[in-house]
């Protein structure tokens, strides 16, 4: 019956990776708390990098800086 | 003033159906708790079936199995 | 399989009223979208009036003003 | 370490405006509560007007009425 | 940078169990998506059984029925 | 009409500080996006330090370490 919401930036997670997240979280809740996997719900939100901020900046800007440093 | 968030899988809900959800939830909160409909907010999130897990599996996989059973 | 989160201010909703909200939202999703009631999850959050703001003010302040107007 | 989720209707907010929201909320949490900006996370959700209800109606319908009144 | 919200019913999860959930989810996101554990945020909400509905009923009612069946 | 949810650890934020958060976020949304303050909703969740994880650890453990370092 648990409900889990995972928010990540939209940067190319594949269906197979999301499958592994769903599987892994569901198993974790069964292992740690004995929760029934059948009714465990997992929802993954993939958020545009313009819409995710950390350290007061959109991730779009962080990624640009990282690239410039690599290329610089 | 209540805030309601409805999460469903993205499987073709129409604008008319979403209208009925908004209307119905707003009326329910007025009926049961006397909440003012004017300030009741309802947000519907439609989630890709790859991003929704139940029973440790993405809904995409469940839908495929359901189809195979029907066709099998 | 839908997940619904209802946020209201913590101002004395009874267990019976919350039961009616759960029942009503679950039926609405079955009626409008044909969702299976067995796996519909509803979570109600009751939020302290100090922690809920509308119009730039905590509800605590609004309630105080409403009372003053009634008594004034 | 705070986590902030801002939900707005999808009606054309620009990357620059979202940048200002992220910057502003992060600074506010530092100013008011001394929270470390480096680990403050802000996530902005832009919601289709069909999926946002207020006063028991989708915003799509409200916008149409507003337009009709202007033109009427 | 991922943000994970785990909602469970408030039925006695210990600090040690919640520690294992936090640890496990953080490791999963590093393993599957290469996410930096240092900035992964996990928030656990424990919800009163009166406030959690499944199958159109509060968990409080379900627990009572389970008990009656065991005792019956 | 925007809805903002601020999650912070429960570590003694006062009613006055929460009032300033509500006021500040509401003004920010009016300034940046022209949103009507009257219908802007802000909900603050204060989360127990056992229930908030960062870097794979509950904040309770981080706070203990910080204290030990200060005292050590």
The stretch C42-69 carries a mean pLDDT of 97
Higher pLDDT, C1 or D61: D61
Contacts across the B-D interface (CB distance below 8 Å): 51
Put simply, whether E7 touches F (Cβ < 8 Å) is no
Structure tokens at B52: 């929704």
Please state, in angstroms and rounded to a whole number, the distance separating the CA atoms of residues F34 and C68. Answer: 31
**Predicted confidence band of residue C72 (pLDDT cuts 50, 70, 90):** confident
User: Which residue in E53, E60, E61 is closest to C42 by CB distance?
Assistant: E53
The answer to whether C46 contacts E47, with C-beta atoms less than 8 Å apart, is: no
pLDDT of residue B1: 83
Chains that touch A (3 or more CB pairs under 8 A): B, C, D, E
Please state, in angstroms and rounded to a whole number, the distance separating the CA atoms of residues D9 and D13. Answer: 9
| ipTM for the complex shown | 0.96
The answer to whether C15 contacts E58, with C-beta atoms less than 8 Å apart, is: yes
**Predicted confidence band of residue C64 (pLDDT cuts 50, 70, 90):** very high
Q: Regarding the domain with residue range E3-71, which homologous superfamily does it belong to in the CATH classification?
A: Macrophage Migration Inhibitory Factor (3.30.429.10)
Higher pLDDT, B30 or E1: B30
The stretch E41-49 carries a mean pLDDT of 98
For chain F, the structural domain boundaries read 3-71
Mean pLDDT over each residue of chain B, to the nearest integer: 96
pLDDT in tens, D22-49: 999 999 999 999 999 999 999 999 999 9
Put simply, whether B28 touches D (Cβ < 8 Å) is no
- Tell me how close the Cα of E41 comes to any Cα of chain C, in angstroms: 21
- Tell me how close the Cα of F6 comes to any Cα of chain E, in angstroms: 12
Mean pLDDT over each residue of chain E, to the nearest integer: 96
pLDDT of residue D66: 93
Backbone angles phi, psi at D36, to 5 degrees: -65, 115
The stretch E24-53 carries a mean pLDDT of 97
The answer to whether F13 contacts D24, with C-beta atoms less than 8 Å apart, is: no
- The burial class, CB within 10 Å (0-12 / 13-18 / 19+), for F51 is buried
- Tell me how close the Cα of F9 comes to any Cα of chain C, in angstroms: 13
pLDDT in tens, B35-70: 999 999 999 999 999 999 999 999 999 999 999 998
Put simply, whether B28 touches C (Cβ < 8 Å) is yes
Number of other residues whose CB lies within 10 A of the CB of residue D60: 17
- pLDDT higher than threshold 80 for residue B72: no
pLDDT of residue A72: 76
pTM comes to: 0.97
**Predicted confidence band of residue E27 (pLDDT cuts 50, 70, 90):** very high
pLDDT of residue D1: 83
* Residues of A taking part in catalysis: 2
Q: In what order do the strands lie in the sheet with F3-9?
A: A57-58, A52-54, D41-47, D3-9, F3-9, F41-47, C52-54, C57-58
Residue partners of C53: CB distance under 8 A and separation at least 6: C59, F19, F21, F22, F23, F25, F26, F40, F41, F42, F43, F44
The stretch B17-44 carries a mean pLDDT of 97
Put simply, whether A23 touches E (Cβ < 8 Å) is no
pLDDT of residue C58: 98
pLDDT in tens, A33-71: 999 999 999 999 999 999 999 999 999 999 999 999 988
pLDDT in tens, F12-71: 999 999 999 999 999 999 999 999 999 999 999 999 999 999 999 999 999 999 999 988
The answer to whether E25 contacts A29, with C-beta atoms less than 8 Å apart, is: no
């Amino acid at each position: 019956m648990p409900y889990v919401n995972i928010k990540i930036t939209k940067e190319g997670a594949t269906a197979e990776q999301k499958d592994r997240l769903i599987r892994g979280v569901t198993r974790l809740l069964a292992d740690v708390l004995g929760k029934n996997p059948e009714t465990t719900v997992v929802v993954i939100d993939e958020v545009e990098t313009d819409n995710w901020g950390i350290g007061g900046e959109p991730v779009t800007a962080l990624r640009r800086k990282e690239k410039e440093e690599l290329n610089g």
